Amino acid sequence: MASYLQIENISKSYGPKVLFDHIGFNVNEGDKIALIAPNGSGKTSLMRILAGKDKSDSGGQIKFLKDIRIAFLEQEYEFNPEATLLDQILSGSGRFMEGLDEAGRFEYERRIVRLLTEFSLRPEQKMRELSGGEVKRVAIAEVLATEAEFLIMDEPTNHLDIDAIEYLENYLKRSRCTLFMVTHDRYFLDRVCNTVMELDHGQIYIYKGDYENFLEKREERISNYNAQTDRVRNLLRRELEWMHATPCARTGKAKYRKQAFWELKDRASQAYVTRQVSMESLESSTRLGTKIIDCHNLSFRFPDRPDGTPGPCIVDGFSYKFQRYDRIGIVGANGIGKSTFINLLLGRLQPTGGSIEQGASLKIGYYSQQGMEFDEGQTVLETVNNTSLLNQFLFPHDMLNNPIYKLSGGEKRRLYLLTILMQQPNMLILDEPTNDLDIVTLNILEEYLLDFKGSLIIVTHDRHFLDRIAEHLLVFCGDGVIKDFIGGYTEYRSFIKDYEAEQRKAAQVTSDPTPKAKPKAAADGAKKRLSYKEQRELESLEAEMALLNEEKAKIEAALSEGGLPYDEIVTTSARYETVKQLLDEKELRWLELSM
């Protein structure tokens, strides 16, 4: 197995803060490595050095295997807002297109179009028309289209919806590429990576296996380290007795032994402390009454567009009474209206139909992606004047007097979260709280939320977070339809897979002209629950879905096989999007009639 990358003796500091010091490691062909560390520990700095975007302070060596292609996905993607998606990717792919002949260039463009289509994007769209999540999909499509042997990816799942995350997850699982990435998505890590690399106190530790194995081995390492610390402290006590035995001037104590004493003292002061989250200092100041938020026949539609076409419908006839201690996860595709729904609950938008009523004792704490505003000159302690809470959320004593402008992006997110918790709300609404937070902080936040004595509404694409926290889901299906699903995300996906299997079975039955007794019995059962008209609609939907699935499969095959002229690729991709949309609409109606 070839060594793709050799790192020796690299370091990085910012002022007095040492991120990593003279570290080294190897990456072999086929490795899929997840780098884990708290925010501010130097993950992004390390990745930028590997990608040639930054330099090591100590020189050192970074040696890649000759002639392998390397692609780097950064967290921030720079783009021309007036460029089409296809032109944007081509403009950023200069070094990958060097030396390509006309056939090679055509093949490269075909891959770009296929990837954009699979990410539900149109190559002819302008970049300025995209949401943040869609821009992230373009960045990923640019990296994947290179078919590089070595991928370096910094938080690839940030801002992606669950469908896009699962597509990328499956792509990387199947790919033979070598991968080095930072991610906070624990399911993504588990399903893609075969190695976990931890950056801890400036040093690198490597664990072969999945995330669970990492947790177990890390705990062993910390226990061993703390046991060694205890032994060092015992030795230090004996050395301290020796140092105090007689005055140094009379005994002529050996200089090397005195130096060893100070080294022991420094080592004895080091120990790992497991963070325990306590709610005692943050009990809700106001207890929840019986009425929280009541939605009655709630509707919201944006105004008509300038060309007269109707504005998008976000909510249509939604009724729900939020209960005390509800733990609700909100899921759906990017741009489908989840944040708009939250703004309705908060009273920042007014319904176009129906009503929303808030309980008199309700006190909402709202964490949003756009809500982070600080006085950058203030210190951490001046911003959150609670040392216990700061310590629990990984702000040690030596960071408390740091001005905010010195914090990393993830550390600022963590501090912003604490400003919300300090308000002592009895309902928390968290809009994408997991973006930019490291895995260590996410574990602490989960423990906090599991003990929270109030109601929770969480908008997130983090499947592990949903499974651990949410007790039921509000699933945004599009066109104003919101479904209430009892259970966590994994249960929901299992339900959807069962439904899709039933749909395929129904499509096969519809396409088979030979009558089968068993399906007929099932249909007879359906007639008892549905009106005659609804039963006819159900049967019609099954036939239409079978045809659409067949057309979708043919289009996918045509796009994958290649050979289509460029203009046909564009029109075929557009038809693919139309078919997917029609299929989604008919599947949703089929689901409504079947449930």
What CATH number has the domain bearing residue 315? 3.40.50.300
What is the spatial distance between Cα 361 and Cα 340, in angstroms, rounded to a whole number? 24
Please count the other Cβ atoms lying within 10 Å of the Cβ belonging to residue 373.
8
Assess whether pLDDT exceeds 60 at residue 210: yes
CA 55 to chain centroid: 28
Rounded Cα–Cα distance for residues 5 and 566 (Å): 37
Q: Which residues pair with 313 in a beta bridge?
A: 301
369 and 478 part of one domain: yes
Backbone angles phi, psi at 175, to 5 degrees: -70, 145
CA neighbor of 72 nearest in space, from 42, 100, 55, 92 = 92
State the pLDDT at residue 155: 93
Q: Which of 343-357, 420-434, 485-499 has the lowest average pLDDT?
A: 485-499
Q: Cα 314–317–320 angle (5° rounding)? A: 100
Same domain, residue pair 525 and 547: yes
Could you give the CA distance from residue 97 to residue 99 in angstroms, rounded to a whole number? 6
Q: Cβ(77)–Cβ(129) under 8 Å? A: no
Q: Is residue 274 part of a domain?
A: no
The closest of 342, 346, 440, 460 to 396, measured between CA atoms, is: 440
* 183 lies in the same domain as 315: no
478 and 368 assigned to the same domain: yes
* Of 320, 324, 359, 326, the residue nearest 341 (C-alpha): 320
DSSP 281: G
pLDDT tens-digit map of 33-68: 999 998 888 999 999 999 999 999 988 899 998 889
**What is the rounded CA–CA span in Å between residue 146 and residue 93?**
8
Structure tokens at 534: 């609804």
Tell me the per-residue pLDDT of 128-174, one tens digit each, with 9 for 90 and over.
999 888 999 999 999 999 999 999 999 999 989 888 999 999 999 99
294 vs 563, which has greater pLDDT? Answer: 294
For residue 413, give its domain range. 282-487
Q: Phi, psi at residue 405, to the nearest 5°? A: -65, -15
Phi and psi angles of residue 295, each rounded to the nearest 5 degrees, phi first: -105, 125
Q: Is residue 276 part of a domain?
A: no
Q: How many helices (H) and strands (E) does the chain have?
A: 20, 18
Question: Please, are residues 469 and 450 in contact by the beta-carbon 8 Å criterion?
Answer: yes
Both 566 and 451 in one domain: the answer is: no
**Token pair 């067949």: residue:** 550
Task: Identify the residue whose tokens are 């004493």.
Answer: 261
Q: Which of 151, 207, 153 is nearest to 185 (CA)?
A: 153
Which two tokens mark 565? Answer: 């002229």
One domain for residues 325 and 339: yes
**180 has pLDDT over 90:** yes
Last residue of a domain, one of 178, 197, 214: 214
Q: Is residue 277 part of a domain?
A: no
Whether pTM > 0.85 for this model: the answer is: no
In a shared domain, residues 97 and 15: yes
Confirm whether 273 is domain-assigned.
no
Tokens of 535: 């039963």
Whether 33 and 181 have beta carbons less than 8 Å apart is answered as yes
Same domain assignment for residues 341 and 419: yes
Q: Write the pLDDT tens digit of every residue in 501-541.
A: 777 777 777 665 554 444 443 334 434 456 666 777 777 77
Share of the chain above pLDDT 90, in %: 45
Q: Quote the number of domains for the chain.
A: 4
Residues 245, 311 share a domain: no
310 falls within a domain: yes
* Lookup result for tokens 């216990």: 388
Lowest mean pLDDT across 214-228, 469-483, 573-587? 573-587
Give the pLDDT score at 242: 59
505 and 376 in a common domain: no
| 275 within some domain | no
Burial profile 351-369: b = 16 or more Cβ within 10 angstroms, e = fewer: bbebebebbeebbbbbbbe
**Hey, which residues does 150 pair with through a beta bridge?**
70, 178
Is 511 among the domain residues?
yes
Q: Which two tokens stand for residue 98?
A: 């060097």
Tokens coding 46: 């390390």
Kindly report the number of other CB atoms within 10 A of residue 460's CB atom.
22
Are 472 and 509 contained in the same domain?
no
Is residue 476 located within the same domain as residue 516?
A: no
Asked if residue 484 lies in contact with residue 320, where contact means CB atoms within 8 angstroms, the answer is yes
